[in-house]
Amino acid sequence: MVSKRSTGLLHLLLAFGLLLSANGVRAQVDQAQYDTGEKVFKANCASCHKPDQAMTGPMLKGAKASWDGKGDIHAWVKNSQAYIKSGNAHAKEIFESHNKIIMPPQAVSDADIDAILYYADNFAPKGAAKAVAAAPTEAQPTSSSWQWLIIVGLLLLLVLLSLGGVRTQLVNAVREKDGLAPEVNLTTWGRIRRWAYNNKGWASVVVLLMVVWVSVLTWNFLFRIGVYGGDTVAHYKPSQPIAFDHTLHAGKDNLNINCQYCHSSASNSKSAGIPSANVCMNCHKVVAQGPKTGKEEIAKIYAATGWDPEKMAYTGVEKPIIWNKVHNLPDHVFFSHAQHVAVGKIECQKCHGPVDTKMDVVEQWSPLTMSWCLQCHNETEVKVAGSDNGYYKEIHRRLAQTPMGQRELRKYLEDEKITVRELGGWECAKCHY
């Protein structure tokens, strides 16, 4: 009787386990198509698009469906401007609703485009806590698949233990019939101990799994300390002493002030710099009122600079504004804005995100981790030959002078491009003091 009951339970358990494991595998998604899409996307589109968020371009998730019956999304991707000129209304509408930023023609095939859109539609960030179902990497189980293993293991154990309880009851029924004293009915904890004592092998496996679980959780936690921005973690967004709004001041549809009007050292020094209140006063001597906050916030600029708006004169009593720092690299890292903005010609938004369109309060958009720096250095091409950039020309000239340099140059050019990495952008000393 006992054995019948336990096999029944075992079947139930197996079914339950299967259900859980089926849940852990993304059965419906064509992984090969997803991977192809991801690769082509990263090579061609990732500089402007994210699958699940707007960046320079809109998010691509759902884009395919939104074109259904309205136009040819392939034609758009291959040459959006030509497609607009051909008279497609949907294309024109998209262009106009994105401040007429031009999406350059993309040298990709129809199959590539299908793969990219498939990837975007099924996109789920790697490493996010709930994303086992999303993009499992074959080699390493994610922390949550570990968690499932352990939960299933513990459930099994509990069921076995309650079977132990049933066993005691049955044994006692028999003993009572035979006129014997009943066996002591152990508490659950007592049974766990008895089970562990009798099954030392399994007990160590369970303990080991629990240790691994706790370690994985701790590791994940430690890994996130000090990391803000990026895809997986909430962006760091401290409040500021004055409600200064970048979308109002720098947005194309609003005041459209150039970033470097305020962050004026970005192109010639290490730091971009935060403007002094005097820069604000270039305009706010006259503009005393804003559309959202009225006079309240602008009054703080007057307090900081000691401006009396009634008398239209400075009183001499100043109270500096203490802005809260949003970005903060550790001291052992060297980062130069000039190198990236003036030499590398990288747009602010590439690293800081849509400051001018989305950030009424500035947030840290990129993760600022070492792998973030390295990844861009690995991907970004440096146009050395024929560049109008003196710095690159000089590197090219020097390389071409010696046979060794020429070999280097040929090696770099094997894949027809020279990346920042190939010019030393992965050398520890370039970024670390």
Closest to ligand HEC by CB, 53 or 293 = 293
Closest to ligand HEC by CB, 142 or 305 = 305
Q: Which region, judged by CB under 6 A, interacts with ligand HEC, from 22-30, 162-170, 248-256, 401-409?
A: 248-256
- Alpha-carbon distance 46 to 94, whole Å? 19
Residue 277 CB, nearest approach to ligand HEC (Å): 7
Q: Which region, judged by CB under 6 A, interacts with ligand HEC, from 127-135, 165-173, 268-276, 310-318?
A: 268-276
Q: Which residue of 127, 153, 290, 309 would you call a contact of ligand HEC, by CB under 6 A?
A: 290
Q: Which residue of 292, 319, 383, 411 would you call a contact of ligand HEC, by CB under 6 A?
A: 292
Q: Which residue of 204, 215, 271, 315 would you call a contact of ligand HEC, by CB under 6 A?
A: 271
Q: Which residue of 352, 399, 412, 422 would you call a contact of ligand HEC, by CB under 6 A?
A: 352
Cβ–Cβ under 8 Å, residues 49 and 108: no
Please name the residues in contact with 388: beta carbons below 8 A apart, sequence gap of 6 or more: none
> Closest by alpha carbon to 241, among 197, 207, 203, 274?
274
- Alpha-carbon distance 306 to 285, whole Å? 11
> Counting contacts by CB under 6 A, is residue 205 touching ligand HEC?
no
> Counting contacts by CB under 6 A, is residue 370 touching ligand HEC?
yes
> Closest by alpha carbon to 364, among 225, 261, 245, 231?
231
> Counting contacts by CB under 6 A, is residue 174 touching ligand HEC?
no
- Alpha-carbon distance 302 to 293, whole Å? 15
- Alpha-carbon distance 213 to 146, whole Å? 7
Q: Which residue of 7, 21, 23, 66 would you call a contact of ligand HEC, by CB under 6 A?
A: 66
Closest to ligand HEC by CB, 147 or 260 = 260
Tell me, by CB under 6 A, how many residues bind ligand HEC: 108
Residue 375 CB, nearest approach to ligand HEC (Å): 7
Q: What is the CA 152 to chain-centroid distance, rounded?
A: 31
- Alpha-carbon distance 288 to 302, whole Å? 9
Cβ–Cβ under 8 Å, residues 425 and 419: yes
Of the CA atoms within 13 Å of residue 369, those in its CB half-sphere come to 15
> Counting contacts by CB under 6 A, is residue 384 touching ligand HEC?
no
Q: How far is CA 75 from CA 87, 104, 112, 237, in A?
A: 12, 12, 13, 39
Residue 272 CB, nearest approach to ligand HEC (Å): 3
Closest to ligand HEC by CB, 132 or 244 = 244
- Alpha-carbon distance 269 to 262, whole Å? 14
Cβ–Cβ under 8 Å, residues 212 and 146: yes
Question: What backbone torsions phi and psi does residue 232 show, to the nearest 5 degrees?
Answer: -90, -25
Q: Which residue of 330, 386, 390, 403 would you call a contact of ligand HEC, by CB under 6 A?
A: 330
Annotate each residue in 13-52 with x if it binds ligand HEC (CB under 6 A) or - if it does not, as one string: -------------------------------xx-xxx---
Residue 128 CB, nearest approach to ligand HEC (Å): 18
Annotate each residue in 220-239 with x if it binds ligand HEC (CB under 6 A) or - if it does not, as one string: ------xx------------
Q: Which region, judged by CB under 6 A, interacts with ligand HEC, from 140-148, 207-215, 307-315, 351-359?
A: 351-359
Closest to ligand HEC by CB, 62 or 125 = 62
Q: What are all long-range contacts of 45-54, with beta carbons under 8 Å and residues at least 24 apart?
A: 45/106, 45/116, 47/350, 48/103, 51/119, 51/120, 51/123, 52/120, 52/123, 52/125, 54/354, 54/358
Residue nearest to ligand HEC (CB): 290
Q: How far is CA 392 from CA 30, 389, 399, 422, in A?
A: 43, 6, 11, 13
Residue 30 CB, nearest approach to ligand HEC (Å): 18
> Counting contacts by CB under 6 A, is residue 419 touching ligand HEC?
no
Tally of CB atoms within 10 A around 426: 15
> Counting contacts by CB under 6 A, is residue 266 touching ligand HEC?
yes
Q: Which residue of 69, 87, 104, 386 would you call a contact of ligand HEC, by CB under 6 A?
A: 104
Q: Which region, judged by CB under 6 A, interacts with ligand HEC, from 12-20, 132-140, 155-163, 419-427?
A: 419-427
> Counting contacts by CB under 6 A, is residue 106 touching ligand HEC?
yes
> Counting contacts by CB under 6 A, is residue 172 touching ligand HEC?
no
Q: Which residue of 51, 149, 302, 356 would you call a contact of ligand HEC, by CB under 6 A?
A: 356
- Alpha-carbon distance 354 to 340, whole Å? 18
